[in-house]
Chain A
Amino acid sequence: MTETVSRCPVAHDQLPQPAPLPFVSEDPFHPPQRLGELRAEFPVSRLLYPGGEIGWLVTKYADVRALLADPVTFSSRNRQRANPIREMPEDFKEQPPKPGLFINEDPPDHGFYRKQLTGQFTVKRMKALEPRIEQIVADQLEYMAAKGPVADLVADFALPVPSLVICELLGVDYAERGSFQEWTATLLNLNSTAQQVRAAVDELDQFMLRLVKQKRAEPDDAMVSGLIEAQDGAERPLTDEEIAGIAFLLLIAGHETTANMLGLGTLTLLHHPEQLARLKADPSLVDTAVEELLRFNSIIRVGQLRVTTREVEIGGQLIPAGSSVVASNLAANRDPEKFDNPDELDITRGAVHHIAFGHGVHQCLGQQLARIEMRIGYRRLFERFPDLALAIPLADVKWRTDMAIYGLHELPVTW
């Protein structure tokens, strides 16, 4: 027995049988109970993928953080090879990474792409957008007020706000939202067939390439034009396909995630009236409330997918080279070793160390924008509608248990 193996707390043959990723919760505000049991008893456990592959599930905060901090050992390049929820066809697994889609790249290529954008997403630049985001939020709240009560908070507020913001930032015509929102929904729907996913990706690719060609012909002040312009005289200029890949990632990541946080975060506050009352009494709590809602809801519920490039020990377990690994942000953000009473929502807890945006070099590029959208969004929503309430029984709420990004399909509200 090697030194490494002797440190294993549980020999592989004493681990529970490989099991599918616990995904559907008994209580929709909380992670599946099994995820918590695994974190407590077998924090690195064997995961059975739909295609029959056996990989690993990592659930403890310290282990998830350590894993995500090591992108060389835990590669993102072939991370879609084994999806814990839906089986991918063989030819899909073997596709080369889409150019510019740097979420699927490793260092140093990942850093090459990311550095083209980090100057565009600084805290200062995002802060400079605050007046415009205030205006977008105010307009959307007036739209809701004129329409209701009742209104659908998702369709009338949570989705339009970040969609408008990211469209303006990138230079995408918001009138095209019907198309890109539908393709994104197909892409994220866990029940979509591989053919449907492929068709949606093709549509989005073509949409983004058309956008790049259009900005080449008629530049504007927005980010896609800025990226094109920045390639003049660059040592290694980006191709149109790469710029389109970057825009694809920013558009999807920029509207779906924040939209779901605005919708689910609102319901979470309505479901915890004592916490909501504190926020209404002291709106300056919104900054820490946003961090707590991010931690509590952890909407990327599938987790972060990685593939090991070498044999590696994590949490005392030895994982072979070439293994598929799921790092569960959801389980990590509810780890009692990191957060006291992790299953309680406490908007004053100062949950700054949550990893809802991930960790390591892949940590969300747009997180400072998302924070500002949420801070302004929640604050103005409850100022405009202090008596906001769910317009349907809680049991009738349509949760996004069928989507790669958690949240609500709709949220009928009254005031």
Chain B
Amino acid sequence: MRVELERDRCCGAGMCVLYAPEVFDQDEEDGLVLLKIAEPPDSSLDAVRTAAGTCPNSVISIAG
């Protein structure tokens, strides 16, 4: 699994960090999404899917 972001569209709602904190973080200054692991293990798949599905601006996509 490979996680891709359209970071310029992020609105800093924090849903990704709420549901997949092992994969996503927020910048301390502007609160926008940061990727901690671009290729997270399969054990994170459900959490990443939830993060992608609850992102209010559909910024996260999962490839592979």
Contact = CB atoms under 8 A, between A and B. Distances in A.
A102 to B, nearest CB: 11
Contacts of A365: 12-13
B11 interface: yes
Given A119-B28, A119-B29, A119-B30, A69 B14 contact: no
Contact of A358 (B14, B27, B29, B56): B56
Interface string A346-368: 00000011000011110111011
A352 B17 contact: no
Given A124-B26, A358-B56, A367 B50 contact: no
A235 to B, nearest CB: 14
Contacts of A119: 12, 26-31
Nearest to B51: A352
A206 interface: no
Contact of A352 (B26, B29, B32, B54): B54
Given A353-B53, A353-B54, A361-B57, A121 B14 contact: yes
Given A69-B57, A352-B54, A353-B54, A114 B12 contact: yes
Contacts of B21: 123
Nearest to B14: A123
Interface residues of B, number: 22
Interface in B26-43: 26-32
A236 interface: no
Interface string B10-23: 01111001110100
Nearest to B9: A361
A121 B18 CA distance: 12
B29 to A, nearest CB: 5
Interface string A193-222: 000000000000000000000000000000
Q: Which secondary structure dominates where chain A touches chain B?
A: loop
A123 B27 CA distance: 11
Nearest to B31: A118
Nearest to A287: B18
Nearest to B21: A123
Range, interface on chain A: 20 to 34
A371 B56 CA distance: 16
Given A123-B17, A124-B17, A124-B26, A118 B54 contact: no
Given A352-B19, A352-B50, A122 B12 contact: yes
A120 interface: yes
Nearest to B12: A118
A414 B56 CA distance: 40
Given A121-B14, A122-B17, A123-B21, A361 B56 contact: yes
Nearest to B16: A123
A122 B12 CA distance: 7
Interface of B: 11-14, 17-19, 21, 25-32, 50, 53-54, 56-58
12 contacts: A115-B31, A118-B31, A120-B31, A121-B14, A122-B12, A122-B26, A122-B31, A124-B25, A352-B54, A360-B57, A361-B57, A368-B14
